Amino acid sequence: MPQQKTYLPAFDTWVSDFLGVHFRDEGCYDKAVLAAEMLQHSRAVSSSELIEMVRRANAMLALLPGYDHEG
């Protein structure tokens, strides 16, 4: 059976604070990524967690209705 990845508490708090129902535009994406970078800089999350955080923020941005995926 595959082992489930466990994250530091700051990671889970970040998901709750930035990727919830209030994620509605590119500004929310910018705030989420900046907060993730600050958490990694303060060593509250690891580098691999930062990568996962940015990946999740990217996925949320791509799911927004009307988002221009071609830039």
37-64 pLDDT, tens digit per residue, is 999 999 999 999 999 999 999 999 999 9
Tokens representing 23 are 């994620």
71, pLDDT greater than 60 = no
The structural domains of the chain, with segments of one domain joined by +, span 9-63
In sequence order, what are the residues at sequence separation of 6 or more whose Cβ sits closer than 8 angstroms to the Cβ of residue 63? none
* Cα 10 from Cα 35, distance rounded (Å): 11
pTM of the entire predicted model = 0.84
Identify whether the C-beta of residue 7 lies closer than 8 Å to the C-beta of residue 24. Answer: no
